[in-house]
């Protein structure tokens, strides 16, 4: 059966209250960081106390909505992340799993202090029993070794992705659009096909686009009606692969000396690591040709 994506306009503090207890498998969201970004509604310019109240209130609802096996990922900037961590850990007694750093090379420059070059993502679960599909998010190994798991390595907790630049065709008219590959990794890891995923702060719809293309059901909430229109337009676009990829996905391991193993690996690589990234296939085949031999790029490989 086809998956269903519902985009709902309004204040998530109210909208979340209308959903049933323990009805959501995964909450993955990027709330306002309270850094005075212009989302057309003043929601990013609260006093510190207002922001902490607001954060506690939506996170408490998030906990109520999660199934006992559910997971929550929250993006946050450095200014408030320690407070958000404390709400999740101390006030709501959720189970800490990972602190992920999204590292990027470009951003605003500071003249006094160090220019920020990362945002972070907190991953908490509701209990010790939770979904984690490591095989769906592995990255290619650097070396072929018979002891290495050639299905790939764990991507670790530092994720490097560029911002979506204004010249990219997938760029939306939203000030803090995130790369789809960030959401792809969290959604594939922490939910299964047919699961229900909620994003209470949907923005330009990145999370919902990923749900749509990975066969998850999604509920996206957004307070700004202009963004709602954008999301619906984005969801209607044809899919040609996600708008970003972990650069490590196109590398081929060193030391794949046995020709048969190499051939099998190349085909598997395309199905495993480049499944949602057809645009990266040529770059991968180029790295195969450079590292091994151009003859490896046979019709057989290109056809698979
Ligand atoms: C950081 S942005 C999300 C960006 C998104 N991840 C993307 O890739 O486009 C946060 C969004 O939350 C929305 N927002 C702020 N307060 C809200 C609320 N109370 N309920 C629903 N949406 C809200 C803002 O309008 C903004 O679009």
Which residues, 6 or more positions from 183, have their beta carbon under 8 angstroms from its beta carbon? 28, 206, 207, 210
Q: Is the pLDDT of residue 298 over 60?
A: no
Q: Which of 96, 79, 97 is nearest to 87 (CA)?
A: 96
Q: Are both 150 and 252 inside the same structural domain?
A: no
pLDDT of res. 189: 98
Cα(178) to ligand 1 centroid in Å equals 11
Q: Please give the average per-residue pLDDT across 11-25, as a whole number.
A: 98
Q: Are both 169 and 205 inside the same structural domain?
A: yes
Q: Are both 261 and 178 inside the same structural domain?
A: no
Whether 242 is in a domain gets the answer: no
Whether 79 is in a domain gets the answer: yes
Out of 203, 235, 267, pick the residue that ends a domain: 235
pLDDT confidence bin for 296, thresholds 50/70/90: low
Q: Are both 82 and 188 inside the same structural domain?
A: yes
Q: Are both 153 and 253 inside the same structural domain?
A: no
Ligand 1 pocket check for 174: Cβ under 6 Å: yes
Q: Are both 177 and 126 inside the same structural domain?
A: yes
Cα(38) to ligand 1 centroid in Å equals 11
Question: What angle separates helix 259-272 from helix 281-291, to the nearest 10 degrees?
Answer: 160
Ligand 1 pocket check for 209: Cβ under 6 Å: no
Cα(127) to ligand 1 centroid in Å equals 27
Ligand 1 pocket check for 220: Cβ under 6 Å: no
Task: Give the three-class secondary structure for 197.
Answer: strand
Q: Is the pLDDT of residue 143 over 70?
A: yes
Cα(115) to ligand 1 centroid in Å equals 24
Ligand 1 pocket check for 206: Cβ under 6 Å: yes
pLDDT confidence bin for 293, thresholds 50/70/90: confident
Say which DSSP state 6 is in: E
- The domain tally of the chain equals 2
pLDDT of res. 294: 72
Out of 209, 235, 261, pick the residue that ends a domain: 235
Q: Are both 289 and 158 inside the same structural domain?
A: no
Q: Are both 289 and 209 inside the same structural domain?
A: no
pLDDT confidence bin for 295, thresholds 50/70/90: low
Model's pTM, two decimal places?
Answer: 0.95
Ligand 1 pocket check for 224: Cβ under 6 Å: yes
Whether 113 is in a domain gets the answer: yes
Which of 248 and 299 is assigned the larger pLDDT?
248
State the residue range of the domain holding 70.
5-235
Q: Are both 45 and 143 inside the same structural domain?
A: yes
CATH number (domain holding residue 138): 3.40.50.150
pLDDT of res. 248: 96
| Cβ atoms within 10 Å of 8's Cβ, excluding its own | 15
Q: Which of 174, 201, 183, 170 is nearest to 9 (CA)?
A: 201
- Strand 118-125: give its sheet, edge to edge: 5-9, 217-222, 196-199, 24-29, 66-76, 118-125, 95-103, 158-160
Which tens digit of pLDDT belongs to each residue from 75-99? 999 999 999 999 999 999 999 999 9
To the nearest whole percent, how much of the chain has pLDDT over 70? 96
Q: Are both 34 and 167 inside the same structural domain?
A: yes
Q: Are both 42 and 92 inside the same structural domain?
A: yes
Ligand 1 pocket check for 183: Cβ under 6 Å: no
pLDDT of res. 43: 86
Whether 155 is in a domain gets the answer: yes
- The CA-atom distances, in angstroms, between 150 and each of 107, 143, 146, 253, 290 are 36, 9, 8, 9, 20
Count of residues making up the chain: 304
Q: Are both 105 and 128 inside the same structural domain?
A: yes
Cα(131) to ligand 1 centroid in Å equals 26
pLDDT of res. 300: 46
Rounded (10°) CA dihedral 77, 83, 89, 90: 180
């Amino acid at each position: 059966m086809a998956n269903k994506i519902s985009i709902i306009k309004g204040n998530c503090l109210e909208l979340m209250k209308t959903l049933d207890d323990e009805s959501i498998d995964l909450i993955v969201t990027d709330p306002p960081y309270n850094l005075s970004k212009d989302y057309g509604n003043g929601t990013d310019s609260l006093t510190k106390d207002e922001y902490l109240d607001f954060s506690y209130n939506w996170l408490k609802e998030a906990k109520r909505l999660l199934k006992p096996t559910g997971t929550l990922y929250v993006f946050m900037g450095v200014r408030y992340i320690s407070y958000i961590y404390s709400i999740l850990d101390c006030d709501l007694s959720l189970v800490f799993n990972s602190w992920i750093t999204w590292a990027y090379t470009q951003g605003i420059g500071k003249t006094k202090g160090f220019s920020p070059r990362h945002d972070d993502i907190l991953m908490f679960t509701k209990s010790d029993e939770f979904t984690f599909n490591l095989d769906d998010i592995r990255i290619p190994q650097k070396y072929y070794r018979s002891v290495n798991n050639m299905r790939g390595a764990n991507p670790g907790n530092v994720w490097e992705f560029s911002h979506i630049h204004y010249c990219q065709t997938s760029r939306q008219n939203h000030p803090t659009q995130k790369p789809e590959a960030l959401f792809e990794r969290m959604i594939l890891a922490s939910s299964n096909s047919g699961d229900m995923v909620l994003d209470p702060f949907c923005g330009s719809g990145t999370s919902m686009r990923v749900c749509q293309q990975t066969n998850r059901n999604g509920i996206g909430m957004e307070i700004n009606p202009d963004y709602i229109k954008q999301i619906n337009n984005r969801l209607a676009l044809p899919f040609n692969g996600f708008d970003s990829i972990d650069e490590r996905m196109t590398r081929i391991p060193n030391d794949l000396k046995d020709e048969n193993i190499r051939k099998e690996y190349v085909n598997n690589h395309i199905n495993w690591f480049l499944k949602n990234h057809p645009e990266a296939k040529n770059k991968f085949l180029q790295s195969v040709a450079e590292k091994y031999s151009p003859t490896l790029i046979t019709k057989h490989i290109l056809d698979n």
